[in-house]
Structure 1
Amino acid sequence: MESYRIVVGVDGSPASGKALDWAIEEARLRGGSLRVITAWHYPVLGDAAGAGPDVDVFRQSAADDQAALLSAAGGERSGLSAEVIEGSAVQVLLDAARDADLLVVGSRGHGGFAGLLLGSVSAQLAHHAPCPVLVVRENEGGRGTSS
């Protein structure tokens, strides 16, 4: 029988840290594999000469956010792969979830309005993912709960 495959999207936010914790435990309980995905997007910025920010700065920032969450969650383990992929978070995660049994994301990332229950990324994934989606939120007490 093929291993249960979980994809988890992380962006360095507290909610994505809770999603990573949940996904690690679920993969452990099911004896499955875990794919940790961090998406990054190069902003369309620049001056009149067309010079923009260094792309490596954005890539490294995403990698640093992912590494910090993995370290806080206990680091690398068997059956876990971690990737930093350029592109919009929604499209990167939809592509990654194509062969997954479950997609796990935090309810709120870094952007937008903190008071909303779902962010734009988690809402779009819930509507368009090719597999079940679990949205993990961080409640006021700092402990994650699933929605």
Structure 2
Amino acid sequence: MAANAPFTIVVGVDGSAQSRAAMDWAVEEARLRHGSILALTAWHYPYVSDALGQSWDYEIFRTDAQVILDEELDRVRGATVPVEGRVVQGNPGAVLVEASRGADLVAVGSRGHGGFAGLLLGSVSSQAVHHAHCPVLVFREPPARPAPV
């Protein structure tokens, strides 16, 4: 980013605990740096068709993404930093990589709601780490603490 532009953090928002942790960290970091946050929720059409030949209600994908973003923006409402939210149609990893062109940092959860539970890094966070045009901070789910004895 330009030296006179405010520090900008792009946060991938998908409703997961990891993306909420990324947003919480970004709010504090943006406050310390007198910066701003761009919260992105991406959606795309499914790659498979319905086996029964029924048509998809494609509007529901965009609507669900908007609900996820709105809930996250409501959660951080009152933050002392500017937070802009956008819903973007496209592959979430590609959307984050493109947004990274105008950012100083990308913050993303390690795994969202899709994929395999045992993976340490999901496809979206992996794509961001390998292709972003700025540093990427990946938030993992905290390890489970043993129950007190």
**TM category, shorter:** 0.7 to 0.9
- Kindly state the Cα deviation for residue 29 of structure 1 after the two structures are TM-superposed: 1.1
* 8 Å contact from structure 2 (residues 18, 112) kept in 1: yes
Structure 1 unmatched runs, 5+: 143-147
**Larger Cα Rg: Structure 1 or Structure 2?**
2
* 8 Å contact from structure 2 (residues 31, 81) kept in 1: no
Q: In the TM superposition, what are the counterparts of 1:86-97 in structure 2 within 5 Å? A: 86-97=89-100
SS state at 2:140 partner:
strand
Counterpart amino acid of residue 26 in structure 1: E
Distance 2:98 2:48 in 1: 26
Percent identity over the alignment is: 52
Residue 145 of structure 1 aligns with which residue? none
- Kindly state the Cα deviation for residue 52 of structure 1 after the two structures are TM-superposed: 2.4
What is the count of residue pairs matched by the alignment?
Answer: 142
SS state at 2:9 partner:
strand
Runs of 4 or more, structure 1, over 3 Å off, are 44-48, 74-78
TM-score, length of structure 2 as denominator length: 0.85
Distance 1:99 1:139 in 2: 30
Counterpart amino acid of residue 38 in structure 1: T
Distance 1:43 1:71 in 2: 28
**Is 2:66 the partner of 1:63?**
yes
C-alpha RMSD of the superposition: 2.2
* 8 Å contact from structure 1 (residues 45, 52) kept in 2: no
**Is 2:7 the partner of 1:4?**
yes
